[in-house]
Structure 1
């Protein structure tokens, strides 16, 4: 019976549903209050505005590393993770705000492609990509790939969703089980935007708002090849879709998501650009601190 359904993205196993729910709600309430909406903030905080977190991170338990060097990913998942890693580096090469970061990503990709040979399997290539990502400034500052196992596991979450039907269907069900006729908005971050996209195509009742941020929708070699349904189009029952991106968010596939959709798609609006803190440009709470992100919710609620 939640009026607002939140869908998380990639992250550590130790981050529980309760922690994610609390952090998102607290940040959202602060942004509403700071921008002249104390009543909505109070409703969020006291629970009179019902909020649910669609939680699916437990589905990755079998892929969680036991130590820094452990990488329990089957070959298809490792190969998909490699595709994700290359796209992330290419995102930095294409739209990082710092020209030095763009040059750094270009050099790293060229060097890596020169090193990769047919004797290496997907797992070893993925390790090489993770090591490369960990040296790139925008990612190194965020801690995304601080350890080999951490980076592999984060990439593995995206890859496992795309390659493991149990994970995929479980995540989609986590969203659909939270969305009811009372739901007024779905708010999704990172991989959660992919889950929400696929889940909401199965929705059978109207949804006033889909709000996405830090989205990898549109990654060329991964999402656009494996996303369901194809070609890209807004879910039929979604009435408004607002997407938000930071050009230094390395997960963001494109700053112009709208251009990947049909010209007559009137649901998805032009992407709103924000500037998150340089130390963690992909964090969900960084996006929720911006009025550009929260304004559509304020209008709706």
Structure 2
């Protein structure tokens, strides 16, 4: 059996250098391994001795080719703007439920301007209403600070790419939709002949989940970090396939969420996702970092709780690979 793979799937953001991102994510995971007292495996990870590592990059697909475009709110059509309104409405509902925001009048006024289903009230298009709502949200100090929003563009930048992905439009010359092209980037990083650990962050957890639904290779571990999959209003009912279930290729699914992560909804995957044919369903694992901004991918990867199962799974797969290939030199086992 060939050497296992480790595939990272990023969240929102524009074009980036996949090689630099891969180095940064591996460095963060190595820090988590050190915290988990698995320092002996760090060199095996960083040198790709333990596994071949890939960074599934798709941020460039949101850009329309114009120099001024960042694949953000300016590119939204009316339906996509309505989806963002729904995502924003659910986010504000989550924030209003936090003890620190109880009785926040500014937050209450903003929420009152959104109809329950996230559609704009009264006359006017969803796009115009969306910009007005985003501007209003920035004026709510507690919410804007915890989400690191300083402008309406920051607010819309958080939600515009998930909306465009879930819209499942924007066909190219080959009649392939944007979400299909994004999932193809993930599938290109996979190898059915190798066991693969997949780590999906934020929107990347949605992309990884849907990509693996059509994948037949072995995935001994799926890790989702900072995942919005359970967002009830707009994400959950738009997932494919329906009803959402653990992909059949996945042997184990760990869903890590920070109690201080403003992007993660209160509804948890373990309560919603159906098990696959082997009974595998997400295992929820919570921790509380007490950080001002807890959503970053490298922040999650640097946690011992996240790094340990990733490293141990890769180590076990690497040993199994060496056992079936006498010419291969195994990496040290985790914790050795």
Normalising to structure 2: TM-score of the pair? 0.79
Aligned to 1:174: 185
Residues 1:285 and 2:260 are matched in the alignment: no
Residues 173-214 of structure 1: CA deviation (Å, up to 9, x unaligned): 011110113242000000001101110000012210000011
Greater per-residue helix proportion: 1
1:198 pairs, out of 196, 210, 221, with 210
Aligned-pair CA distance for 1:130: 2.1
2:308 pairs, out of 283, 295, 301, with 295
Following the alignment from structure 1 to structure 2, what is the Cα–Cα distance between the partners of residues 142 and 225? 25
Aligned-pair CA distance for 1:283: 0.7
Higher Cα radius of gyration:
2
For structure 2, the 5+ residue unaligned runs are 170-176, 315-336
Residues 1:100 and 2:100 are matched in the alignment: yes
Residues 1:88 and 2:61 are matched in the alignment: no
What RMSD, in angstroms, separates the aligned Cα atoms of the two structures?
2.7
Following the alignment from structure 1 to structure 2, what is the Cα–Cα distance between the partners of residues 63 and 138? 33
Residues 20-52 of structure 1: CA deviation (Å, up to 9, x unaligned): 212211110111123221232111222323210
Aligned to 1:153: 157
Q: Note if contact 2:25-2:301 (Cα within 8 Å) is conserved in structure 1.
A: yes
Following the alignment from structure 1 to structure 2, what is the Cα–Cα distance between the partners of residues 213 and 87? 19
Aligned to 1:21: 22
Aligned to 1:33: 34
Following the alignment from structure 1 to structure 2, what is the Cα–Cα distance between the partners of residues 201 and 129? 35
Normalising to structure 1: TM-score of the pair? 0.88
Aligned to 1:61: 63
Following the alignment from structure 2 to structure 1, what is the Cα–Cα distance between the partners of residues 275 and 220? 21
Aligned-pair CA distance for 1:162: 0.7
Aligned-pair CA distance for 1:88: 1.6
Aligned-pair CA distance for 1:269: 3.7
Runs ≥4 in structure 1, deviation > 4 angstroms?
67-70
Residues 1:140 and 2:145 are matched in the alignment: yes
